[in-house]
Amino acid sequence: MTGRIRIDGQSIPFLEGQTVIQAAEDSGVHIPHLCYHPDYEANGSCKMCTCKINGRQVSSCTTRAADGMVVESNTEELNSERRALAQMLFVEGNHHCPSCEHSGNCVLQSQAYKLGMTALIFPDFTTGRKTDASHPDILLNRDRCIYCELCVRASRDTDGKDIFCISGRSENKSLAINSDSGLLKDSGLSVDDAAANVCPVGCIIKKHEGFTKPIGQRDYDARHVHHNKVRQPRLPELAKGPGEKVTVATCSLAGC
């Protein structure tokens, strides 16, 4: 069974059982999100994908599409709320783009620029959570965690190891390791595990790679040339004309 929904005035099809964000992604309509991943069951934790559906705000990653549904996403009201969420995530963690190996490949960074965020407006509130460098191949920087729980779901549902979990609440909330010592080195995590590669920010980083992609070849850079072929960014609407400077992942929200 199929049907159609309307997102910001655009009519798009959906398949039975699809959520609003799945239908949108299949039709090339971008709804901002952080914790959603097509390979894992949605949990609606980040609230970045919140849309107004038939006049009510709901998470588009957990709401099933229904024929005739009217969805508002790209509105100033919703984007203002998304910017506020991004602002709070940036100041609550150690998200200093120039010193982060994930800069240019960071979903939080790209969404912030897409929403028009170019500077921080709240006081810094870095909590100083412990970094785990015990693993020979992987570094865990807890101050960059945004609690999307993608590593939790990937380790449990794909790797079958159940290595990660979220512990504590409020400012005591932290990404925890399910091992006797509580350290990553004793967890059985491998660099090839889905959990080691799914992090959308710079929380879980492979130690021996560093800054592997030059500016212009990263996932969220604007239009660029690579191996004599023009590649398009994942967010093509952000690309400007030839020769124009683009702010996505080339300027830093830390002021660089």
Q: Would you say the C-alpha torsion 213, 215, 216, 218 has a positive or negative sign? A: positive
**Domain 17-74, classified CATH 3.30.70.890, yes or no:** no
Q: What is the mean pLDDT of residues 229-233?
A: 37
Distance of CA 101 to the CA centre of its chain: 15
Question: What is the average pLDDT score of the chain?
Answer: 84
pLDDT value of position 1: 64
Average pLDDT over residues 91-97: 84
Neighbours of 3 (CB within 10 A): 15
Q: Give pLDDT, residue 243.
A: 39
Question: CA 145, 150, 152, 155: dihedral to nearest 10 degrees?
Answer: -130
Cα distances (Å, whole numbers) of residue 167 to 89, 131, 229, 232, 241: 18, 15, 46, 39, 46
Residues of the chain with CATH 3.30.70.20: 131-206
Residue pointed to by tokens 């894992």: 40
Task: Choose between 159 and 45: higher pLDDT.
Answer: 159
CATH 3.10.20.740-classified regions of the chain: 17-74
Q: In terms of residues, how long is the chain?
A: 256
- Per-residue pLDDT, averaged over 87-103, amounts to 85
pTM of this structure: 0.80
Quickly state the pLDDT bin for 170 (edges 50, 70, 90). confident
CA distances for 225 relative to 55, 157, 214, angstroms: 43, 37, 12
More confident of the two residues 1 and 97: 97
Determine the Cα–Cα distance for residues 145 and 200; give it in Å rounded to an integer: 9
**Do 91 and 124 contact (CB within 8 A), yes or no?**
yes
217: pLDDT confidence band, cut at 50, 70 and 90? low
Structure tokens, 175: 């990404």
Q: Is the pLDDT of residue 152 over 70?
A: yes
The pairing of beta strand 70-72 with beta strand 2-7: parallel
CATH 3.40.50.620 fits 131-206, yes or no: no
Percent of the chain with pLDDT over 90: 61
For 129-147, b/e burial (b = at least 16 CB within 10 A) is: beebebbeebbbbbbbbbb
Instruction: Give the model's confidence band at 214: pLDDT under 50 very low, under 70 low, under 90 confident, else very high.
Output: low
pLDDT band at 208 (very low <50, low <70, confident <90, very high): confident
pLDDT digits (tens, 9 = 90+) for 123-140: 877 677 899 999 999 999
For residue range 13-40, list pLDDT tens digits in order.
999 999 999 999 999 999 999 999 999 9
pLDDT of residue 210: 61
**Residue that wins the pLDDT comparison between 255 and 30:** 30
